[in-house]
Chain A
Amino acid sequence: MEENLSGRKLWRIAGAIRDQLQAARVNRFRETQSQVQNLISDVTELEAVRRKLNLCIARGWTAAATELSEHAVRLFRSLHYSSKEAEQVTGKREITIPAVREVLAELLQAEEEFEGFHYYPEDEVLAVVTETIELEGVYLGDFEVQLHIPAMGDRNFRSTYRIVALDPHASSRNEAVTHPHVSEERLCAGDAGAAIDAALAGGRICDFFMLVRSVLTTYNRDSAYVVLEDWDGVTCHDCGSVIGEDDTYYCTSCDYEYCGECASSCSRCDETTCTSCLESCPVCDDRVCGGCMTTCQECGQRLCRRCRDEARCPCHDEEPENEEESDDNDAREGTEGAAEGGEAGCDASTEEAGVRTTAETP
């Protein structure tokens, strides 16, 4: 349940924010302490390696010295990694602890800048509501930016706030995406990331809300969860109907998206393929994708791979028959040819061969 904010209540919220910033600062020190401890452990181990190496060299234990050297290399690598990590942790922006009255001034400013400034006492969430957002003609509705005060003491500030769509108009491609830069109520702040971190680390609550609003009211097509052109679904490349992500079929042959009506699959590999990219095998009549079609090496006939592998190309049947046919022709030419003429004999033999082929085909 949201709460109206009196001066006293605001003062208490400001105090709670300050307490969390102090906790965050202590956590930062603990993190540095842990990094230093890791480095000391590696250095201590290196010292042990040094002592053992001294002994190995003095006694001529070369095999043991080789093993120790390898161990030293592993420790050097670990030290390199640990020191880089330690540098990153300790080099983070310092958390400045503002006075409670400064935080209070931030809250009062936020109250002026945003109409829907309010507080949820059960979850200790401070929230503002943006104006209705419409980007490039796509209505997205208004959003509530929720700052979870107890989470501000955590190491990862980005988990402390959520972007809740109050009048959700999620992408039909992905219901978790309510804004091109919001997925599962989390904002990918992009260029504002560092400034948001700095604002939170300094207790500049109003600046934080304003920065988030600036991201929400800007569209970066190159780095959106779902681009606005596809917000309301995908257009089937074949029939032009608009479809949701779950109903989209991607043709691996032509790289376009299709609706269920216009998509099919290859009879051989089962790969989703649009009907235009499927070919009929002239031998078995199955519809197969381009990848499963091939040519007969002997006659060049296009056919599916299975028919080729099973030697079902018609040329395999025709070759021996042609030879028989040729023998028959020769024989017939000997008996009838003189009377009927070459052309007639050729026609008759073709017909006969045709009948025979049909009869022999199972």
Chain B
Amino acid sequence: MKLLFINNDGGGYADYQEVATGTTVEKFFSQQLPGAKAEDYLIRVNRQPVPRDYVLQEGDRITMTPTKIEGAVAA
């Protein structure tokens, strides 16, 4: 099934992704951001917070936004 994934980590991009039926948010997170901790991200599905065992549905819109981003001084 296909869903829209918006990754606000790094460069920030939005793209459609194919995922297996029955994929949970937790599994999708670990697939997309291996090594990252879920508690350091705001994860929204269809603009709403969801539990980690939420099973993704066809056409879902999922966003992952880091809660800790380092700012810098202008070059």
Contact = CB atoms under 8 A, between A and B. Distances in A.
Given A191-B72, A210-B8, A211-B8, 5 more contacts: A180-B71, A191-B70, A194-B11, A215-B69, A218-B70
Nearest to B74: A188
A351 B48 CA distance: 100
Interface residues of B, number: 22
A223 B10 contact: no
B10 A195 contact: yes
A210 B42 contact: yes
Interface in B12-59: 12-14, 42, 44, 47
11 contacts: A109-B47, A191-B72, A194-B10, A195-B12, A207-B6, A207-B65, A210-B8, A214-B69, A215-B70, A218-B70, A223-B72
A183 B74 CA distance: 10
Interface in A123-181: 180-181
A44 to B, nearest CB: 36
A199 B12 contact: yes
B66 A214 contact: yes
Contacts of B66: 214
Nearest to B44: A109
A61 B67 CA distance: 70
A202 B65 CA distance: 15
A202 to B, nearest CB: 6
B71 A207 contact: no
A105 B47 contact: yes
A176 B2 CA distance: 48
Contacts of B72: 181, 188-191, 220, 223
A225 interface: yes
Contact of B69 (A183, A191, A199, A206): A191
A190 B68 CA distance: 12
- Max chain B Cβ within 10 angstroms of own Cβ: one of A187, A195, A223: A195
B71 A204 contact: no
Contacts of B8: 195, 199, 207, 210-211
- Max chain A Cβ within 10 angstroms of own Cβ: one of B69, B70, B73: B69
A68 interface: no
Contacts of A295: none
- Max chain A Cβ within 10 angstroms of own Cβ: one of B66, B71, B73: B71
A304 interface: no
B6 to A, nearest CB: 7
Contacts of B6: 204, 207
A181 B47 CA distance: 28
A225 B47 contact: no
A215 B65 CA distance: 11
A181 B71 contact: yes
B11 A189 contact: no
Given A206-B47, A210-B8, A198 B13 contact: yes
Contacts of A217: 67-68
A190 B65 CA distance: 15
Nearest to A197: B12
Contacts of B11: 194-195, 198
A224 interface: yes
A82 B30 CA distance: 43
A153 B44 CA distance: 28
A192 interface: yes
Given A109-B47, A194-B12, A206-B47, A188 B73 contact: yes
Contacts of B71: 180-181, 187-192, 215-216, 218, 220, 223-224
